[in-house]
């Protein structure tokens, strides 16, 4: 009998990638993916713990499943990923109808665990998580976060022409607001040879663009014996792969933005000149409280280095507003940094206290929510004005765009064959470009003439389709 699984994902690109890998391993084990919990006999949530809101969403979804579980008690309900590692037994206490809680370091065993749970006559809640890095030796903890990078067919990726590839996981930085080092474990890089071989297979399958993923991707170091390969060396090896046309990497940690890496981005044409380097704050006082490990002066000097080594690079950032103790003056320093750095765009988040982090135990979450909201809107307005100033000069220019697929609007409308639809693609600087064209262009890299721009989207036409 076919086993039907519903898998829902919340969170960052790392989680989206994990879900692709989970889906692949389950399909390989004979499962069929379905698009509604109602049609499934196994319901899985791959969760995120970065903000309270993301966790609340999962607990609400689990609550809505209670009547279904009462009607169909054999249905297996599982919570996977970061919230599973963080909350562990608490999930069974808050949602007694959950059967499985599996941390990100145990995903490689998911098919086998599901098999065991399904075969039990009297089900016991099953908890499979990695060791607590605050309590055990590093080597044991590393081992308990098992590698999980099985091969996946193109149809299980969000696009057959693009792929995310994990090059490292975990984090050793312990920023005071962040739960990642606890839930994703110690920083561990994958061997370069393994990454090269995975990407070679992807390229042979028609993949044009890879995005290398890591929490602090630029601290990559090949763990193989006798190797001293850093991210710059890995980029050079990937650059030689036939068929591969674009390489991106996220997320960068400011202190590891070394000159060899910037020179590799400048010298290797397949590497996109797009760098996401989160600042988090423009105030030294706040950076210290966040334990980010650099000053705003260091960050500014790094931006200047990027601009001088890679002229025209698109730099993006993240900011947290309303972190513990943030004064109006601290906030203004973040505004000043955004104005000075002229980021292509910034992802701005209101601080959300995470139990288990250093900040939650030692720093009061003392900025009122309405102040956080106002600062969020104000910083966003400053950033958006800069983004628009940067996109307007692109009007009238041709940009090389990798065509990702039909736009959301076009997906909703039924279309047939190769008719003209609204397509979405991306430039090497990560601009989103919308234009009309035949579906057959999906997966191609081609020039698009920009006709109109707003802060986030460029609207264009294909030169040869113009009337
Ligand atoms: S660098 Fe800091 S913010 Fe980023 S994942 Fe590591 S601890 Fe979290």
- 295 and 411 fall within a common domain: no
- 21 and 68 fall within a common domain: yes
Domain end among 362, 393, 424: 393
Ligand 1 contact, 179 CB (< 6 A): no
Pocket test for ligand 1, best of 11, 177, 180 (most atoms within 8 A of CB): 180
What distance in Å separates the CA atoms of residue 303 and residue 164, rounded to the nearest whole number? 26
- 62 and 171 fall within a common domain: no
Residue 126 lies in a domain: yes
Residue 356 lies in a domain: yes
Ligand 1 contact, 410 CB (< 6 A): no
Residue 346 lies in a domain: yes
- pLDDT for the residue numbered 467: 47
Distances (CA, A) of 37 to 167, 218, 420, 427: 32, 39, 34, 37
- 97 and 20 fall within a common domain: yes
Q: Which 8-state DSSP code applies to residue 439? A: G
Q: Where in the sequence is the domain holding 122, given as residue range(s)? A: 3-130
- 28 and 150 fall within a common domain: no
- 59 and 154 fall within a common domain: no
Residue 168 lies in a domain: yes
- 456 and 309 fall within a common domain: no
What distance in Å separates the CA atoms of residue 309 and residue 273, rounded to the nearest whole number? 11
Q: What are φ and ψ of residue 44, in 5° steps?
A: -125, 135
Domain end among 393, 412, 429: 393
- pLDDT for the residue numbered 415: 61
Q: Which 8-state DSSP code applies to residue 440? A: G
Q: Which 8-state DSSP code applies to residue 120? A: -
Structure tokens given for 291 = 């334990």
Pocket test for ligand 1, best of 11, 85, 177, 216 (most atoms within 8 A of CB): 216
Distance 180 CA to ligand 1 centre (A): 6
Residue by residue, DSSP assigns 65-111 as THHHHHH-TT-EEEEEEHHHHHHTHHHHHH-TT--EEE-GGGGGGHH
Into how many domains does the chain fold? Answer: 3
**For ligand 1, atom 4, which residue shows the shortest CA distance?**
215
- 214 and 311 fall within a common domain: yes
Distance 202 CA to ligand 1 centre (A): 29
- 243 and 315 fall within a common domain: yes
- pLDDT for the residue numbered 1: 65
- pLDDT for the residue numbered 414: 61
In the structure, how many helices (H) and strands (E) does the chain have?
Answer: 17, 19
Residue 135 lies in a domain: no
Residue by residue, DSSP assigns 176-237 as TT--HHHHT-S-EEPPHHHHHHHHHHHHHTT--EEEEE-TTGGG-B--STT---BHHHHHHH
Ligand 1 contact, 256 CB (< 6 A): no
**CATH number of the domain within which 331 lies:** 3.80.30.20
**CATH number of the domain within which 44 lies:** 3.40.50.280
- 360 and 428 fall within a common domain: no
Structure tokens given for 170 = 């975990």
Q: pTM of the full predicted structure? A: 0.94
Domain end among 393, 427, 452: 393
For the chain, 467 residues long, give each residue's pLDDT as a single digit of tens. 669 999 999 988 999 999 999 999 999 999 999 999 999 999 999 999 988 889 999 999 999 999 999 999 999 999 999 999 999 999 999 999 999 999 999 999 999 999 999 998 888 999 999 999 999 999 999 999 998 998 888 888 888 999 999 999 999 999 999 999 999 999 999 999 999 999 999 999 999 999 999 999 999 999 987 777 899 999 999 999 999 999 999 999 999 999 999 999 999 999 999 999 999 999 999 999 999 999 999 999 999 999 999 999 999 999 999 999 999 999 999 999 999 999 999 999 999 999 999 999 899 999 999 999 999 999 999 999 999 999 999 999 999 999 999 988 777 666 666 678 999 999 999 999 999 999 899 999 999 999 999 999 999 998 765 44
Residue 89 lies in a domain: yes
**CATH number of the domain within which 433 lies:** 2.40.50
Asked if residues 142 and 5 have their Cβ atoms less than 8 Å apart, the reply is no
**For ligand 1, atom 8, which residue shows the shortest CA distance?**
178
Label residues 138-166 b or e (16+ Cβ within 10 Å = b): eeebbebbeebbeebeeebbebbbbbbbb
Ligand 1 contact, 49 CB (< 6 A): no
Residue 284 lies in a domain: yes
- 212 and 342 fall within a common domain: yes
- Which atom of ligand 1 is least distant from the CA of 179? 8
- 163 and 276 fall within a common domain: yes
Ligand 1 contact, 279 CB (< 6 A): no
Distance 173 CA to ligand 1 centre (A): 6
Strands (DSSP E) found in 322-456:
346-350, 398-406, 420-426, 432-438, 445-453
Residue 447 lies in a domain: yes
């Amino acid at each position: 009998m076919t086993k039907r699984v519903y898998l829902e994902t919340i969170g960052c690109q790392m989680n989206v990638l994990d879900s692709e890998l989970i889906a692949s391993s389950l399909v390989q084990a004979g499962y069929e993916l379905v698009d509604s919990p109602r049609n499934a006999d196994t319901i899985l949530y791959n969760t995120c713990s970065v903000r309270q809101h993301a966790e609340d969403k999962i607990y609400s979804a689990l609550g809505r499943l209670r009547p279904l579980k009462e009607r169909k008690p054999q249905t297996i309900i599982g919570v996977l990923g970061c919230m599973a590692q963080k909350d562990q037994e608490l999930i069974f206490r808050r949602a007694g109808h959950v059967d499985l809680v599996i941390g990100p370091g145990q995903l490689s065993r998911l098919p086998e665990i599901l098999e065991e749970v399904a075969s039990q006559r009297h089900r016991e809640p099953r908890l499979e998580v990695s060791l607590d890095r605050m309590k055990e030796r590093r080597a044991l903890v590393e081992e308990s976060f098992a590698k999980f990078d099985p091969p996946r067919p193109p149809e299980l990726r969000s696009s057959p022409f693009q792929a995310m590839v994990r090059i490292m996981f975990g984090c050793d930085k312990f920023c005071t607001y962040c739960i990642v080092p606890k839930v994703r474990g110690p920083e561990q890089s994958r061997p370069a040879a393994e990454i090269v071989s995975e990407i070679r297979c992807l390229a042979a399958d028609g993949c044009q663009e890879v995005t290398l993923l890591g929490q602090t991707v630029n601290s990559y170091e090949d763990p193989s014996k006798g190797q001293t390969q850093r991210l710059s060396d890995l980029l050079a090896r990937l650059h030689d792969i036939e068929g591969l046309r674009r390489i991106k990497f996220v997320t960068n940690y400011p202190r590891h933005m070394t000159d060899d890496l910037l020179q590799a981005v400048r010298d290797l044409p397949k590497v996109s000149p797009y760098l996401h380097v989160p600042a988090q704050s423009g105030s030294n006082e706040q950076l210290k409280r966040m334990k980010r490990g650099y000053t705003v002066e260091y960050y500014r000097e790094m931006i200047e280095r990027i601009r001088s080594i890679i002229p025209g690079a698109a730099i993006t950032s993240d900011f947290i507003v309303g972190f513990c103790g943030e004064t109006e003056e601290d906030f203004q320093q973040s505004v000043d940094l955004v104005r000075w750095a002229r980021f292509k765009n910034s992802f701005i988040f209101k601080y959300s206290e995470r139990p288990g982090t250093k900040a939650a135990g030692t720093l009061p979450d003392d900025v009122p929510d309405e102040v956080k909201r106002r600062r969020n809107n104000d910083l966003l307005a400053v950033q958006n004005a800069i983004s628009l100033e940067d996109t307007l000069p692109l009007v009238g220019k041709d940009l090389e765009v990798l065509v990702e697929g039909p736009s959301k609007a076009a997906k909703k409308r039924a279309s047939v064959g190769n008719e003209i639809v609204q397509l979405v693609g991306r430039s090497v600087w990560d601009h989103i470009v919308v234009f009309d064209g035949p579906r057959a262009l999906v997966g191609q890299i081609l020039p698009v003439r920009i006709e109109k721009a707003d802060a986030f989207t460029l609207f264009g036409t294909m030169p040869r389709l113009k009337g």
